[in-house]
Amino acid sequence: MYWFRKQVLMCTASHCMQKGANQIAGRLRMELKRKGLDHDVLANTCDSIEICDLGPNLVVYPEGTIYRNVQMKDIPKIIRSLQEGGEPVESLILTPDSDDEVQRRKLFEEACVADAIPTDDFMALAEKYDLDQAWVDEQARRGFIAHKERDGQPIITVTSKARNRYGIPLVSG
């Protein structure tokens, strides 16, 4: 059957995979089959959808609903949502207005008022928005920030990848 009612794309790229995405994807597929939903819900794995720090992530089409931080315990709710007439799992939905997304956007906006920010100041911003060292390290690994040095002091620059994600224009002049 080629014409599916819904399609689920489950990110299994490295950051989501480190947080158990492969196991979650496997279980979701198994449960779809067990519930007889595999004939009209197609579940595929995919590459990064660039919200890695919030993973494991998946997207449900045709709505384009993003579920973030999906855990094994969420699978029964997701399965119910995929049944005919099922309601989306509100607690997992990520939108531009979700608290965690808004927090990150504000942090990056504040970090972008100049072309670079001292590393200590960036860490203070992270703390202000309840984000820890592990999150900052992940931003560097993903290429959202770059650690550099200016006048012998450690600084952080926000990359175009992060600016694009959060819709932040380049600082002019």
Q: Which of 8, 49, 92, 156 lies at the binding interface for ligand FES (CB under 6 A)?
A: 49
Taking CB under 6 A as the binding criterion, the range among 45-53, 76-84, 94-102, 162-170 that sits at the site for ligand FES is 45-53
Q: Does 51 bind ligand FES (CB under 6 A)?
A: yes
Q: Does 52 bind ligand FES (CB under 6 A)?
A: yes
Q: Which of 6, 8, 9, 11 lies at the binding interface for ligand FES (CB under 6 A)?
A: 11
Q: Does 104 bind ligand FES (CB under 6 A)?
A: no
Q: Does 57 bind ligand FES (CB under 6 A)?
A: yes
Q: Which two tokens stand for residue 85?
A: 């007439």
Q: Which two tokens stand for residue 50?
A: 């660039």
Closer residue to ligand FES in complex, CB, 24/42: 24
Taking CB under 6 A as the binding criterion, the range among 8-16, 107-115, 119-127, 163-171 that sits at the site for ligand FES is 8-16
Q: What minimum distance in Å lies between the beta carbon of 93 and ligand FES?
A: 15
Residue numbers of the site for ligand FES (CB under 6 A)? 11, 13-16, 48-52, 55, 57
